[in-house]
Each structure stands twice: as C-alpha cells, then as structure tokens.
Amino acid sequence: MILMPTVFDIQRFCVNDGPGIRTTVYLKGCPLTCPWCHNPESNSPLPQLAFIAENCVGCGRCAEVCEQGVHDFSSGAHVVDFSRCVTCGRCVRACPHDALKLYGREMSVEAIVDVIARDEAYYAASGGGVTISGGEAMSRYADTLAIARAVKERGWHLALETSGFGPTAHFVEIARFVDLFLLDYKVTGECRYKSVVGMPESMVLEKIEALGAAGSQIVLRCPIIPGFSDDIEHFKRIADLSRRPGIDHVELLPYHDFGIGKAKSIGSHQYLKDVAVPTANATAMWIAKIESFGGRDIRKS
Amino acid sequence: MKNDKSVAEIVEVNKKVPCEKPVHQQIDIMEAYTDTHRANASSSTARREMECLKVLYPVTFRHVEDEDLVVGRTDVLPVGFGCVTSVGGVGHYCSFAKLNALRSQTDDPNDLRRIDNIEAYWDKNDTRSIFYEQVLTPDTFGKFVDGKYGAVVTARLSGTMLDYESLVSLGIPGLRDKIERCRVASPGNNEFFDIMGECLDLLAKTIRCHIGLCEAAKQGKSQCRVAELDRIEDALSGILVHKPETLMEGIELCWLYTLMAGVVNYGRADVYLGELLAHDLDAGVLSESDALAIIKSWFKLIDARHSNVNGRIIVGGLGRKAPEASDRFVRIAIEAVRQNRTVEPQFTLRCYRGMDESIYQQALDCIGSGCTYPMLLNDEVVVPQVMSALNVDERTAEDYVPFGCGELVINHASVGTPNALINVLKLLNVSLNKGIDNYDGVDRSNGVRLKAPEELKSFDDVFEQYERLLEKYFSDCARIHWYSYELMRTQCDFLMTSLLTNDCLERGRSILKGGVRYLGGTDETYGNINASDSLAAIKKVVFDEGRYTLREVVDATNANFEGYEALRHDLLAAPKYGNDDDYADDIAVCLHEFICRTVRKTGEEVGFHNYGTVLINNQVNTEWGRKTGASPDGRLCGMFMNNGNNPQSGADHNGPTAMLNSLVKLDVNDHAGSVQNIKFTHDMFVSKMPVLRALIKTYFENGGCQLMVSVVDPGELEDAIAHPELHQNLLVRVGGFSARFVALEKDVQQEILARTLNG
C-alpha cells in the first residue's frame, strides 16, 4: 500500500525549527490535550473543514452546493455543523470570500519530497534541512518513518519535532535518520503532565534517557504558558534536564495566542481564555531564573 | 500641438530646493539663454549648444553651504540644457510646468510678459516638444508618462556615465592634449575640437568661480571653517593646472564637470577615486575620518541634487585595475552611506566570487540598518548577461554599470536610455477585447487585426494573438526610439557628455552623431507578471477546467468584476508567479522570453547596436496601474501593477526561497536589466544574519542577478501612513530607486505595504 500522509502544511524558509533554512512538514493528528495548543487544526488525523466567520458575507453559496447540510442560514446567521462534513471541498470552492477552507490533504511521500527538494540548495548553504512536525508526528509513526527515510536518502539534515509520545522503540529506530530531536517538555510532575498534556511525564523522560544514550542530539523545547508552566518547580526541572546527556540546549517558547482563531474556525473550544501573551522581558526573566537554578544554555526560540 | 502640458513631465519624488536667485534674475538668465539659442539658429548645433552653456555656467551655481567640505551645487532653471527630465530637461529644454509655476512668484507685468515670450519660443523649440509633435498618435503612442496609453515614448539621454577614469588620470591639461592629438587624426573637423576645448575653458571658469564662492563663504566664519575652505580652494587651484593628485581634487573635478554636463549617474567611484584615496591615506594627507567626512559631504551634494530615480554610484566588482585601493574606498563609502542615510546616491555594490568578505558583511550590516543600501549585483551572473544582451566581449562586459533604476550599460562607452515604455498588461486587455482598451473604451489595436474572445479556441490562440499585438507595439517603439536619437541629433550634441564618452574624441563626433562606441537603447516593460498571471488564470479556469468561457472572463474584467465576485475569486485563486509554482512560473517564463527576444530583435533590426527589455520600474507600475482596467489575474481597475519582475505585491505566500526560485526562472541573457525587491523585518535581518547571508548566497548561485533589500519593522509602514511626522527618515526601496516612505504618493505607499514582509 502506498503511504499517503495527511499533511496540513509544508512551510518553506522556516528559521526557528532547527538550524539554518528549513522546510517544515506538518503532519495532521495529535492525541494530546494541551489546552494552549498552537496548532489546533492539527489535532484530528483527518482533513477537516474550517470556517472563518469574519470573512463570511452570508451569501449562502456554500449551502447551495453542500449535500450534507453542513451550512445552515435559517437563523439568519451562518451556522456550521462540522459533524456532518465529509470534506468534499465543494463549499470551499464555492465560497467567493475565503470564509471556508480545508485543513489537511493527503500527499504521497514522493510529493512531499518534491516540495522539499525545491529549496535543496538553500539547505546546503545555510546548514539547514528538513523538520518533521505536527500534530504529533510520532503518533503517525509509519508516515513519519517513511518521510524520515526518504529525507535521509536525499542526504538532507533532518530534525523531528515531537512531544516524546509513543513507544521508545520507535524513537530508537527513527533516530537512525534523525539528526536532531526537538523534544518538548511541557509541565512538571507525572500527574500534572497526564491531566494537562494527556501523556505521562515519564514518557518524555524515557526518551531523553534513550536518545541521550543512543548519542542523539536533542534540543529541549519548553512552551512557557502562564499558569501552567511558569512556576519555580518547573524552572528547576528544566534547569536539571538541561544538563542531561544529549541535550544540546534548551529553547523557551513563550505562549502566543495564534491558535485561538484557528481553534474557533474548526469549531473547537480547546483554547485558553484570559491568558495574556508574555512580554519579551518576561522571557528574559524566565531565562535568568532557570539559569540561576543551574540551567545550561537556555535560549529563546 | 501634441505636447500635452498637463501630463507630468518627470518622476519627481523629492522636490528640489527653491532657486536662490530672485525671479527676475532667473528670467534674465532664461531670456539670455533663449536669445542665444535664437541667435544661433543658423550656427551648427554644437556651436549653438556651446554658446548656450556659456549662458548657464557658472552663473547658475549656488553659494557654498556651511557644512560643505566639497563644493558644487546648482540651481536648475525651467529653461536650460540637460540630458534627462529628472534634472532640468532633455537637450535644450523648457520645463513648462516649472516655468508656469514662476508666474505665481511675480506680479511684475514685465516679468510675466517675458515669461510668455520665453514659453512661446520654447513651444516650438523644446527638444521633447518637437519630438512629440512628430511621433505622438491619438490612441496608441502617448507622452511619457501618460498612463491611458499602452505605450509611451520620450526623447532623453538617460544613464550615460562619464569617463571619470580619463578625467582623473588626465586632468584638464591632459584632456587638452588628447583633444589636440585627436584633432590631428580627424582633419577637417576643427570646429568640433575647438568646441571640445571650449568645454574645458568653461569648466576652468566654473572652477575659478568656485574659488570665489569659497572666499565668499569665509565671511565671518571660524578659523576652523576657513581652514576647511582653504583646503577646498587649494584643490580647486590644483586641478586648474594639473591632473588630480588627491581625493579632494579628484572629487571636485569630477563633480563640477558632472553638474555642467547634466549627467545624473556617477560611475564606478572606487575605480576612479580609489588610488587617490590610497595615496592620501598612505601619505598622511588625510586620516580615515577626514576621508569619511569628505565622502559624506560629496554624497550629501549628490542627494541635494534630487535626481530621484538616478544618482547611481557603483563600487566593487570585476575588472577594476587596482582592486585593493578601490576596496579602501568602498569601505569608507559604505560607512558614509550608513551614516548619511539619504536617498541618494543610489549606492550599488557589485559582488563577485573572491571579493573581500569583510566588505560583503559590512554591506549586509548597512542594509540591516534600514538604509536600503547598498543594492547588491551579482557579477557572476551579470557579466555573462551583459556579454549576451549587449553584444560585447567579456573584458568589456566587466565594465558594466547599472544606471537609473538598473538598466545595464557599458561604462562611458554605450547609450542605453529607455525612451520607450510599454504596459504589457494593458495590451493584454486590448488583445482580449478585439483592440479596445477596457479602461476607456478606446481602440488601441494599433492596426493589428484581432479576434473576439469567442473565436479564440485554445490557450495557444490567446497567446498567439497577444504576441502579434505585442510585436507590433515593440516594433513601433523601437522605430520611434531610434527616431528620438535622430531628432536629438538635429537639436544638440550633448557636448560635455561627448567629451567624456568613448569614442567621441577619437572619431571627432558627438555622442549621438556616430561618436559613442555602442549606440544601444532599452524598452521598459510594465505589468509583465500581471500579464503572465492573467494568462495563467485564463488557462486554468477556461481551458483546463472549463469552468468559464473566455467571454465570461473578459466580460467580468470589463465590469471590474462587479457582479462577478465568484469568478474573480477563482481567478485570484489560480496559480500566481512568485510561489515557485511551475504552472504560473512556466507561463511567466514563456511570456518573458517572448518579450525579451522580440524587443531585442525589433530593436536590432532598426539599427541599435544592442536593444533590450528592462524590467526595472520606478513607481510607474503604480502610476500606470491607475489607468489600466481590471485584468484576468483578478486585479481591479486602477490597482497597482507588479514591480519589475517581482510578483504582484502580496501574491507570493510561500516565503522568500520560493519567491527567489521563481525569480531565477526568468532568463537574464536577453534583457538589459531587472530589479528584485525583497522586504525583511529588522528582527529577521539582524538576529538571523547567517541565514540571510546563506539566502542571498544561494539565490546568487542559483542565477540571481540582483537584490534590493528593504528592512522595516512589522507595523512600521502602517504607522508611517498614519503618523508620517514620526517616520520622516524611514527609507524603502520602491522600484529601481529608494525613497523616504512618507514622501511617496498614497497608492505607491500601498503597493509597498502590500509586498510580502519576510520575518
């Protein structure tokens, strides 16, 4: 069977997901529950409809072409029933105002590699390469492995952005193709990790251990979310982890609210309310604090 | 008469300072100029021009300003002699709008009557008016830049660069010797050589005049300032009797000559000044900081001249005779540009494999400071391009220079003035409407028989019909362009330009009368990418998908998409150039190659040594867009068109690598210049410098010829529109020129704002 990974974006000229100039492949599908999710449109493993309400003028063309009854204007407003949608894309093509779009499309590994190859010369000159991201790429293991293998066959530098979700054996196996792991560490404490993120903390720690032992290079990436991960306990833990074998450096990713609009557009309620975006000063202070606990090479992403 | 005086005569972004002479004195000078021109009606054109120049110089020079460490400022009057419209006018010119503006500055009936008389004379004798009278047509060829036409034409001599290398290495005495040597070799041509000598006499007179102006400037000034002026006077005295021996002498000689010649681009400054600078530094004549101050002062004089879309200084590159000395000049000059932060000179760095890395890094840091300079040219691509496009050998090509907005010519050896401009997007609309312009309903078929949309059965039919229309316009433009030279020949000789252009002295002929080594020209094309995107959209929705008929698409554009919103949406959603999408890019390549090949062919058939398309737009892409109807790429009537061969502003959304990949698909070897704009955030440019370096390096290695970078902060341009007073020094790259953002017109600002900001 030909693998057809579901991709929700391939972004070129990424300069923050690993060294140099990179192309990042975003795979759809994530089993985690982080309430601040920056890419909520990546959670479902399937293509899905998005509705950008502010672009809608209520012309009703979507309802005319939809055979599933997704679009309803009977109340005077445009109400979208996402549960009925079969992602045929007719309404998207009919909408003249870009109020509807589809997140996710199936692409062959070959097609993905073709897009990546277009910037090949830029990777070589900048020390860049390819990053596989998500969603949670390791929850789509077969797809991720196939892409990783194909990328490595072309000799490109490969980074894998992951939460550490999944069996350790998968990580050990894929590490043969991965030059750099961008590994998330989100909150502190086994219970807390489970209740907030939806996976055990130990699952991440195992990966640090195993990849460190295998000689892999890791950048530990820590989203700092006010109220979730800006506490002293967590900072101490980051400081501790920063000194583990295999950890090249730590990057702090301050909370941003770009995910809210995207969550709303897919009918999701999974986003933070009333959390302010931290200032640049706050990030500098977090770095200072973590360093004061013995943190080594802590950077802003 | 055909010269519609209501059409703006120049692209003038920065207004010049008012003339320092009272109105009646300005009228005196113009009257004297007019009388001299009239009195010499039966003299040779060279004699008449020489006598006219004597009226202008040195009287139109201005006083020395307190901060000047280099001297030479001119007032440019509404009547006089020049090469281009951006400073004065073309040949013997009258700038009618400026002459008219003088009327509001006087209520003396005698002055007003004198102005009337001057205007009446120049109605019949202004070089461009004579040209327009001969060539303009009601519907097809308009005056430069009358946007309702599909093509506009002009007479001008843009972009000649003087042989400063000879001026510096020979000085006035050496040039006199050369004139006499050439006189012997061209017997029977005495008048020409006499007049060449008189040009130098007039230059010497102007230099002496400036000694006096320096003396006058000393009045009541500190000892320190007097010492500065003494140093200038010494330099001026020196160049009267020997060739320049110091940086100061070199700059003064070149600068005063330039002002008198009416030339607005300043050549390879590191080549002609590098050794003088090295001498001064090594001999202890100047410290580095002295040299920096002098170069800064010179650059401020260049800026004060406000040539708008000209003012080029080129440094670096292959083919320099003393690269180390030149590089010493380059380093100080980049620092001068960074500190001055002025719109001119348009400072251009030619890059090449093996160049000094520290200079390259200094250049990038300067760009990162937000001053838009230097522009970067890639010799590894441009030298072969020039060999091909300008029909010259490698050694000659190494001495290329870009002028104005980026047209390529051979340093002081070729003419490449763009005297024809074509709006290829407008012509696509004309082609799709059986000859009718959907902007104003005028027939602009130019005699080409065109089929109605219903009769165009395939994409090839659409393309082929468009090609036929374009070819007719290109061919006519080349012919009219050639005629502009013939016409200028009957009016003047551009004496001071000729004296420092190869091979005028050797041949005993002025520049357009057989003197210049390579008589070429360029044709500016506009809206190329909108046109190719339009074709791509038509191919997609009409011929590939069959969702609409061509008639429906044409009807929709003619209605400015009112009532056709869904159709417009589909056109906008069709692939667009600038995203590394082969569907759109292949069509752009196809159209680009047709245009470049055909322009070249039609020009060379007419007799040009070389004739090339230039994709260099200043802000005319916006101005011409105002009078261009809606187009099948989804662009609305009146909206700006794309700049140069860049994507339509905002149409590229795959990041800078994709945009640059699209750019390099357009072959450069059949055209004479293109500009590539890119916009980065300050944060990106500074914090990701290694990435940026790699980006530019790879783009150049992939075949990129040139790059112009604006560095701004997110929201900065929006804020500058709302609060211009807070952003007076915000510099942006427009097309082939830089400008203070707040000085631009609103829709030009919008076009720049709409460009993708990479960060």
Q: How far is CA B60 from CA A215, B36, B64, in A?
A: 77, 16, 13
Interface of A with B in 36-75 (CB under 8 A): 61
CA nearest to B666, candidates B645, B694, B695, B696: B645
**pLDDT tens for each residue of B93-144:** 999 999 999 999 999 999 999 999 999 999 999 999 999 999 999 999 999 9
Q: Are A12 and B654 within 8 A, CB to CB? A: yes
Of residues A12, A20, A121, nearest to B702 (C-beta):
A121
Same domain, A195 and A53: no
CA B608, CA B595: separation in Å to the nearest integer?
17
Concatenated DSSP letters for B631-666? -TTSPPTTPPPPPTTSPSTT---SHHHHHHHHHTTS
Tens of pLDDT, residue by residue over B555-599, are 999 999 999 998 999 999 999 999 999 999 999 999 999 999 999
Nearest CA in chain A to B572: A96
Alpha-carbon torsion B237, B240, B241, B245, what sign? positive
Q: In this predicted model, what pLDDT tens digit does every residue of A219-278 receive, in sequence order? A: 999 999 999 999 999 999 999 999 999 999 999 999 999 899 999 999 998 899 989 999
A chain contacts of residue B585, beta-carbon cutoff 8 Å:
none
Predicted-assembly ipTM surpassing the 0.90 threshold: yes
CB contact under 8 A, B568 and A118: no
CB contact B569 to A (< 8 Å) = yes
For helices B424-432 and B459-491, the axis angle rounded to 10 degrees is 130
The chain A residue lying nearest B688, using CA atoms, is A15
CA angle, corner A7, sides to B658 and A64, nearest 5? 100
- And the tokens for B155? 């007479």
Residue A13 in any domain: the answer is yes
Q: What is the pTM of this model?
A: 0.95
Q: Are residues A34 and A73 in the same domain?
A: no
Contacts with A94 from chain B: Cβ below 8 Å:
566
| pLDDT, mean over chain B | 96
Encode pLDDT of B16-50 as tens digits. Answer: 789 999 999 999 999 999 999 999 999 999 999 99
Q: How far is CA B551 from the centre of its chain?
A: 40
Residue A61: closest C-alpha in chain B = B566
Domain-located, residue A57: yes
Report the gap between the CA of B656 and the closest CA in chain A (Å).
Answer: 7
CB contact under 8 A, A21 and B684: no
Q: Can you tell me the mean pLDDT for B635-652?
A: 95
In order of B564, B569, B638, the CA distances from B555 in angstroms are: 9, 15, 17
First to last CA, chain A: 39
Residue B520 has pLDDT above 90, yes or no: yes
Cβ contact B688–A20 (<8 Å):
no
Are A92 and A113 found together in one domain? no
Between CA A128 and CA A180 the distance in angstroms is 11
What per-residue string of b and e applies to B415-448 under the rule 16 or more CB within 10 Å gives b?
A: bbbbbbbbbbbbbbbbbbbbbbbbbeebebbbeb
The answer to whether residue A204 sits within a structural domain is yes
Pair A122, B657: CB distance under 8 Å? yes
- A168-182 confidence digits (pLDDT tens): 999 999 999 999 999
- Interchain CB contact of A95 with B (< 8 Å): yes
Average pLDDT, chain A: 95
**How many angstroms away from the CA of B619 is the closest CA of chain A?**
29
Query: A140: domain range?
Result: 6-45+104-300
Rounded to an integer, what distance in angstroms lies between the CA atom of residue B732 and that of residue B715? 14
Q: Residue A47 and residue B189: Cα distance in Å, rounded?
A: 83
A13 touches chain B (CB under 8 A): yes
Q: Cβ atoms within 10 A of the Cβ of B665, count?
A: 17
Residue given tokens 């020979």 in the structure block: B170
Domain for residue A1, yes or no?
no
Q: Is A29 left (phi over 0), alpha (psi -120 to 50) or beta?
A: left
Strand ranges in B489-621 using DSSP code E only, listed in sequence order = 518-519, 521-526, 611-615
Judged by a CB distance cut-off of 8 A, whether residue B120 touches chain A is no
pLDDT for residue A275: 92
> Which of B541, B564, B654 is the best residue to mutate to test the A interface, defined by the most A CB atoms within 10 Å of its own CB?
B654
**Cis bond upstream, residue B356 (ω within 30):** no
Task: Identify the pLDDT of residue B11.
Answer: 61
CB contact under 8 A, A96 and B688: no
Confirm or reject contact between A29 and chain B (CB < 8 A): no
**How many Å apart are CA B377 and CA B373, to the nearest integer?**
12
Q: Does the beta-carbon distance from A13 to B658 stay under 8 Å?
A: yes
User: Where does residue B591 fall: left (phi above 0), alpha (psi -120 to 50 degrees), or beta otherwise?
Assistant: alpha
- How far apart are alpha carbons B316 and B27 in whole angstroms? 44
DSSP single-letter state for residue A293: T
Asked whether residue A30 falls in the same domain as residue A55, the answer is no
Rounded Cα distance between A63 and B148, Å, is 43
Contact A118 B695 (CB under 8 A): no
Asked if A122's CB is within 8 angstroms of B694's CB, the reply is yes
Token pair in block for residue B115: 């102005």
φ/ψ (deg, to 5) at B421 = -135, 135
Q: Is A96 on the interface with B (CB under 8 A)?
A: yes
Contact status of A101 with chain B (Cβ, < 8 Å): no
Residue identified by tokens 């843009």 is: B158
Partner-chain contact A119 B657, CB within 8 Å: yes
At B423-469, the pLDDT tens digits run 999 999 999 999 999 999 999 999 999 999 999 999 999 999 999 99
**Which residues lie closer than 8 Å to A288 by C-beta, 6 or more apart?**
none
Determine how many CB atoms are found less than 10 A away from the CB of residue B325: 21
| In the predicted structure, residue A71 carries a pLDDT above the cut 90 | yes
Same domain, A125 and A273: yes
Residue contact B697–A125, C-beta within 8 A: yes
Average pLDDT over residues B230-240: 98
Residues 6+ apart with CB under 8 A from A285: none
Residue pointed to by tokens 């020049």? B82
Indicate the SS3 state at residue B422. Answer: strand
Same domain, residue pair A153 and A275 = yes
Residue A11 touches chain B, beta carbons under 8 Å: yes
Q: Which residue among A102, A125, A140 closes a domain?
A: A102
Cα angle A119-A123-A129, degrees, rounded to a multiple of 5 = 100
Residue B309: which of B718, B618, B569, B696 has the closest Cα?
B618
Looking at residue A236, its pLDDT comes to 98
B568/A122 Cβ within 8 A:
no
User: Do A126 and B690 count as a contact with CB atoms less than 8 A apart?
Assistant: yes
The reply to whether A134 and A12 lie within a common domain is yes
pLDDT exceeds cutoff 90 at B758: no
Q: Is residue B382 scored above 80 in pLDDT?
A: yes
User: According to the model, what pLDDT value does residue B12 have?
Assistant: 66
CA A7 vs CA A30, A134, B109, B331, B533: distances in Å: 12, 9, 79, 49, 27
Pick from B428, B484, B623: which is nearest to B132 by CA? B484
Query: To probe the interface with A, which of B541, B548, B661, B698 has the most A CB atoms within 10 Å?
Result: B698
The Cα angle at residue A135 between residues A132 and A139, in degrees rounded to 5: 85
Say yes or no to pLDDT of A36 above 90: yes
Whether residue A126 lies within 8 A of chain B, CB to CB, comes out as yes
Reduced 3-state DSSP string for B306-347: CCCCCCEEEEECCCCCCHHHHHHHHHHHHHHHHHHCCCCCEE
Residues A81 and A228 in one domain: no
Kindly report the CATH number assigned to the domain that includes residue A82: 3.30.70.20
CB–CB of A18/A159 below 8 Å? yes
- Name the band, by pLDDT with cuts 50, 70 and 90, for residue A2: confident
If asked whether residues A141 and A34 sit together in one domain, one would say: yes
Number of domains in chain A: 2
Q: Are B459 and B476 in contact (CB under 8 A)?
A: no
What is the identity of the amino acid at A93?
R
A159: domain CATH number is: 3.20.20.70
Among B654, B688, B698, the residue with its CB nearest the CB of A15 is: B688
Same domain as A248, residue A217: yes
Full DSSP string of A83-152: GG-----HHHHH-TTS-EEEE-EE--HHHHHHHHHTTHHHHHHHT-EEEEESS-GGGGHHHHHHHHHHHH
Is there a contact between B686 and B368 (Cβ–Cβ < 8 Å)? yes
Specify whether A18 is located in the same domain as A58: no
- Residue of A9, A10, A13, A115 to mutate, interface with B, max B Cβ within 10 Å: A13
Q: Where are the domains of chain B?
A: 23-135, 139-154+417-641+657-675, 163-262, 266-403+683-713
Instruction: Look at A12 and B655 and tell me if their CB atoms are within 8 Å.
Output: yes
User: Has residue A1 got a pLDDT over 70?
Assistant: no
Chain B partners within 8 Å of A62 (Cβ): none
Same domain, A219 and A90: no
Q: Is the pLDDT of residue A160 over 80?
A: yes
- Using CB atoms, which residue from A12, A96, A125 is nearest to B698? A125
Radius of gyration for chain B, computed over Cα atoms and rounded to the nearest angstrom: 26
